[in-house]
Chain A
């Protein structure tokens, strides 16, 4: 007979139990962790198996495959295909282009870049969204109007196209704001573009939740006890947003990775010679007819990672907040009512 959650168990423990019961989410968490291990192992593979770096070119070199000498790139410009372990792990997945770089090594390093951009951009977007959501939802009035309208404006923009324009412009000239200077090839450029343009996707639901939470008795009690707005926001309301934030953060990693792949594919994200899965697809597409794996592999890695993160995110939402949908609906309804009354409707 299944036991009811005991009163002693904390909410995090209960959430963990609920998450572990979701076999699909657990399986895909495993897949995601495997991907993380795969990309973290890049230097090991590069140094001890492939004996080459991600950007090292081998255009005119030959390798010995099962005792036979083969060109890494033929005089007609065709890169070598997957050699698996025929060349002791060198060019395991073949060469990436006419530059003769090791595809496996670039896939692993490219994954590091994609994950780094995805996670950092999601983290920045989440932090910004929390701050903006708390300020808008707690203070309401003109602060709310200003933040909500700004978020609306960003939301109403063709985000990808604008990100693309910024990406291209900054990739050439870099970014110099006086206090911060980024070169055109800096990874921070796609990270900043992605995080700024994805803030509304988290900030708006958070604002809705804050609007609902700030009406709760425990918040009123804190205010009555003389707690400052900062203290109320960050010590009373913020902990109650944890489940929402965690779920959105997970999903935002996936979204940011897709955003990065799109930008990089169009030349506005990660800049060559650095690899990301997006840039690798760009390179692979040109050789699609003769070496289809060059485009398919990074594409498959993006798909698998995004799928895993989405399923894990769904699993976390179910585990952390089983009534999440109902609460989210309530939060949005509350936000709409507040907007109708206070001029902050979305």
Chain B
């Protein structure tokens, strides 16, 4: 619960202190978590609709996980604490500056800030970065494909024996040199992802969701009960060390936070209204969306546009979806208008991989809704296997989205088995190659960083098909597409590359591994105790814990 200070005198002191802090701070209010208008301290009681996939920075690859750990594990580079497009800017994190890129885009040189410590008091060393990369690859993280262009990383992924020769570190000077096999235009962005946030070298190489590793950010996770919730306290070494070394990084206003998983979004909304909880990470349920928007927009509620794609995937390596005509037929049978209603207007219909707002996006519609045509195409394709399993998770309205797909496929003549999994482990289960009957299902994707490669490489490149934590659910492994993804990924993004990505978007949709149906609007919804204006929704990490403050 929020800690209430002694009346008036403390409030006045707090206000004076806050004003003082605001006047001393260099950042503008719109980009800083410490807007300085509210009370310092207090405990934020937040709620998530499901437990994150992992509370381990190396392997978490969901919006929930990244939001939960954004101000806990700081990578060498990070993203600006700002809303919207401004929040897509890469800024130095644990590194002193942005990388120096040499050797034709193949060598990245960074320097660790001096004096950094983990929340357990262990000094942060340059070699911890290499350990973090190796640990992530050893854990078969879904993020590992981003880093396999590091010299020797591919071999390391196969043998799991290090060290990776492409990462050279000097613990005395803090210098980190990363040599890539070839240039990679997105590598700066990827150094800003939590997958490679430095961790102490004695961190066990296993999923640490129940006992998260020591932090480098302003907050540390002190308690985690997978499935139920987790708690934060201030990192004791932030004020002593890291905060001084990273003066631009927001230190946060609240003292602690407690996150509770409440699986009923209706209850979450009620709890926010009653002040039992002060923030819900997931958006209000579709059934309450209009009501919440009408009552609280501008005071407690703010819609947040995202750079995201919601889609149905089809396993291109197994009948019946190994047949292009079948996949194209499914695309024709999906009515994005119906899905807009299922998502109660929180989805804007699209039919392509790249969403609006992403460089390289240009609207096209290859598969206008035509159920009769779809049925005819299925008839012509005459698939050998009509028994399929359709997967989705329990979270509304994704569950209904999955049911919609199930009925569409039934309409097309398939015999479907519908599997609905708990949202906590949905992606873990469907991302595991040993899970049987992975034929088709629901998924979504929010940008990791503002580069179109982020929508192609982890989701549609052959090298991203992993035994666990797989993100290429369609299992698309087309040599020509793989080559284009790799070639474009090597280049720095410019108008020419954007044009090429437009083409790639179309080319892949002609192969129809997915049936994309929309881009999502999310939200910030807080209780009346929280200053809505101070809360930052970053396009990569979502809500920053450091940005919450009590009025």
Chain A residues within CB distance 8 Å of chain B: 55-57, 59-60, 73-78, 97-100, 168, 171-172, 183-185, 267, 271-273, 285-290
Contact = CB atoms under 8 A, between A and B. Distances in A.
Contact of B342 (A99, A172, A286): A99
B344 A76 contact: yes
Going nearest first, the 4 A-B pairs with the smallest beta carbon separation are A77-B344, A59-B338, A98-B342, A77-B286
Contacts of B400: 97-99
A183 B417 contact: yes
A99 B399 CA distance: 11
B418 A273 contact: yes
Interface stretch (B25-33, B401-409, B486-494): B401-409
18 contacts: A56-B407, A57-B404, A57-B407, A59-B335, A59-B341, A60-B337, A73-B341, A77-B286, A77-B287, A98-B341, A99-B342, A168-B422, A171-B419, A271-B418, A271-B419, A273-B403, A286-B265, A286-B287
Contacts of A59: 335, 338, 341-342, 404
B289 interface: yes
Nearest to B339: A59
B463 interface: no
Contact of B341 (A74, A172, A287, A289): A74
B341 A60 contact: yes
B381 interface: no
B288 interface: yes
B420 interface: yes
Contacts of A56: 407
Contacts of B338: 57, 59-60
Contacts of A76: 289-290, 344-345
Contacts of A74: 341
A172 B391 CA distance: 10
Contacts of B524: none
Interface in B323-362: 335, 337-338, 340-345
A260 to B, nearest CB: 17
Given A172-B419, A272-B418, A289 B407 contact: no
Contacts of B340: 75
Nearest to B335: A60
A288 B397 CA distance: 16
Given A172-B429, A184-B419, A273 B344 contact: no
A231 B47 CA distance: 63
A286 B49 CA distance: 14
Nearest to B344: A77
A275 to B, nearest CB: 11
A272 B399 contact: yes
B109 to A, nearest CB: 48
Given A55-B407, A99-B403, A288 B266 contact: yes
Contacts of B287: 77, 286-287, 289-290
A290 B286 CA distance: 11
B341 A75 contact: yes
B396 interface: yes
Contact of A272 (B343, B403, B429): B403
Which one of A57, A74, A184, A271 has the highest number of Cβ atoms from chain B below 10 Å of its Cβ? A57
A289 B288 contact: yes
Q: Chain B: interface secondary structure?
A: helix
B138 interface: no
Given A55-B407, A77-B289, A185-B417, A267 B342 contact: no
B394 interface: yes
Contacts of A97: 400
Query: What is the interface residue range for chain B against chain A?
Result: 35 or more
B114 interface: no
A59 to B, nearest CB: 4
B407 to A, nearest CB: 5
B247 to A, nearest CB: 46
A287 B291 CA distance: 12
Given A77-B287, A185-B419, A267-B422, 14 more contacts: A56-B407, A57-B338, A57-B404, A59-B338, A59-B341, A59-B404, A73-B341, A75-B345, A77-B342, A98-B397, A98-B400, A99-B403, A183-B417, A273-B403
A98 B266 contact: no
A293 to B, nearest CB: 14
A77 B418 contact: no
A168 B286 CA distance: 25
A53 to B, nearest CB: 10
Interface string B404-430: 101100100000011111100000010
A57 B417 CA distance: 17
B285 interface: yes
A273 B290 contact: no
Contacts of A287: 287
A285 B410 CA distance: 27
A286 B396 contact: yes
Contacts of A99: 342, 400, 403-404, 407
Contacts of A273: 403, 406-407, 418
Nearest to B422: A168
B404 to A, nearest CB: 6
B420 A98 contact: no
A77 B346 CA distance: 10
Which of A55, A97, A267, A273 neighbours the largest number of chain B CB atoms within 10 Å of its CB? A273
A77 B419 contact: no
Nearest to B406: A273
Interface in B29-68: none
A155 to B, nearest CB: 28
Given A73-B341, A77-B289, A168-B422, A285 B407 contact: no
B335 to A, nearest CB: 6
Contact of B266 (A55, A100, A285): A285
Contacts of B394: 267
A289 B291 CA distance: 10
Given A60-B337, A77-B345, A98-B342, A184 B417 contact: yes
A97 B396 CA distance: 11
B212 to A, nearest CB: 26
A47 to B, nearest CB: 18
Contacts of A184: 417, 419
Given A98-B400, A286-B266, A290-B287, A185 B418 contact: yes
Contacts of B285: 286
Nearest to A74: B341
A77 B343 contact: yes
Contacts of B418: 185, 271-273
| Residue from the set A73, A74, A77, A271 with the largest chain B CB neighbour count within 10 Å | A77
B406 A77 contact: no
A273 B405 CA distance: 11
Contacts of A73: 341-342
Nearest to B337: A60
A56 B266 CA distance: 26
Interface string B286-309: 111111000000000000000000
B411 to A, nearest CB: 9
A73 B285 CA distance: 16
Interface string B273-293: 000000000000111111100
